[in-house]
Structure 1
Amino acid sequence: MAQIIFIHGASSSGKSTLARALQDRIESPFWHISIDHLRDSGVLPTRRFRSGEFRWSAARAAFFDGFHRSLKAYADAGNDLILEHILDTDGWLERLAGLFAEHDVFFVGIHCPLELLIEREAARGDRPIGSARQDYETIHVGKTYDLELSSTDGTDANVETLLASWRSGHRASSFSASSFLLGNRRS
């Protein structure tokens, strides 16, 4: 059984900063995985999607299906993961809960004030304008977390809080039901 620390929040909420700091402090070797890593590595023909030569809307479903299945493969092989992801499509939470059913998932929601999200979105320039606001209004609806953090509390404090809560072994999130059924709980 792999350990998966799943960091979920709006675009530009601080998921990557938290994940990098967590990876630097956690006591065992966790992979840090995100869609941004794939995009930035050149795996996707991003320039051609942006130019309109290829349609992202036609490729998106297959891309994310493959990404989600790859996460299961990494975990099934025994790799512990720090996953940062935005569950912005209906059915993804349920799909991932099924894929991760045999693993210990610690689901973390990170919140950020709307004004700060909008400021970060504009500064980054790599997100569609308005995506931060849309995420802010919808991204946490219907999710139950093991831990909720605020990006305004600072990275160091959030890492300490996250590690203490993760180490406690208590799980009560949207991912917990399948783990309880299998008896795969951290002690």
Structure 2
Amino acid sequence: MAQIIFLHGASSCGKSTIARGLQAEIEKPFWNISIDHLRDAGVLPMDRFRKGDFVWADARAAFFEGFHTSLAAYANAGNNLILEHILDTEGWLEALQRLFAPHDVFFVAVHCPLPLLIQRESARGDRPKGSAKQDFETVHVGRRYDIDLNSEDDVDANVQILLAAWREKQRSSDFSL
């Protein structure tokens, strides 16, 4: 059984900052993985999508099916994961619940006030304008988490709060049904 710490929140909410801090402090080896890592590593032909050679809407479903299946494969092989992800599509939660069923999943909500999300989205420049607001309004609705963090709080404090709760091994989220 692998351990998965699933950081969930709106685009630009601070998941990556928390993930880096967590990976630096946690007592076991954990992979830090996200879509952004794949994009930034050149796995996706982003220039060709941007130029219009390919249509992202046509490739999106297969890409995320492969991404989700690969996460389960990493965990099934015994790798612990810090996952940064946004459940923004119907059916993804249920698919990941099935794929992650054999594993210990600690589901973490990462919250951020809307004005700060919009500011971060604008500064990044790699997100469609308005995606942070859309995520803010939808991604946490109806979700049950093991812990809630606010990315406005000190990163080191958030990491310590997360680690303390994770070490208690009490799970009550959407992944501990």
TM tier relative to shorter chain: over 0.9
1:152 Cα deviation (Å)?
1.1
Q: 2: distance between equivalents of 1:142 and 1:33?
A: 25
Give the match for residue 171 of structure 1.
171
Letter in 2 for 1:86: I
Does structure 1 residue 87 correspond to structure 2 residue 87? yes
Following superposition of structure 1 onto structure 2, how do residues 14-163 of structure 1 map, counting pairs within 5 Å? 14-163=14-163
1:132 Cα deviation (Å)?
0.4
Does the residue aligned with 2:8 lie in a helix, a strand or coil?
A: strand
Q: 2: distance between equivalents of 1:48 and 1:3?
A: 36
- With normalisation by structure 2, the TM-score equals 0.99
CA RMSD, Structure 1 to Structure 2 (Å): 0.4
Does the residue aligned with 1:121 lie in a helix, a strand or coil?
A: helix
Give the match for residue 184 of structure 1.
none
Runs of 4 or more off by more than 6 Å in structure 1? Answer: none
Q: 1: distance between equivalents of 2:159 and 2:166?
A: 10
Q: 2: distance between equivalents of 1:33 and 1:121?
A: 20
1:53 Cα deviation (Å)?
1.0
Q: 2: distance between equivalents of 1:71 and 1:176?
A: 18
Offset from partner CA, 1:130-179 (integer Å, 9 cap, x none)? 000000000101110000000111211100000000000000000001xx
Q: 1: distance between equivalents of 2:109 and 2:58?
A: 29
Percent same amino acid at aligned positions?
71
Q: 2: distance between equivalents of 1:146 and 1:112?
A: 17
Unpaired runs of 5+ residues, structure 1, are 178-187
Letter in 1 for 2:150: S
Letter in 2 for 1:134: Q
Q: 2: distance between equivalents of 1:72 and 1:117?
A: 30
Does structure 1 residue 3 correspond to structure 2 residue 3? yes
Q: 2: distance between equivalents of 1:81 and 1:94?
A: 19
Unpaired runs of 5+ residues, structure 2, are none
Q: 1: distance between equivalents of 2:173 and 2:110?
A: 14
Offset from partner CA, 1:4-45 (integer Å, 9 cap, x none)? 000000000000000000000000100000000000000110
Letter in 2 for 1:45: P
Does the residue aligned with 2:145 lie in a helix, a strand or coil?
A: coil
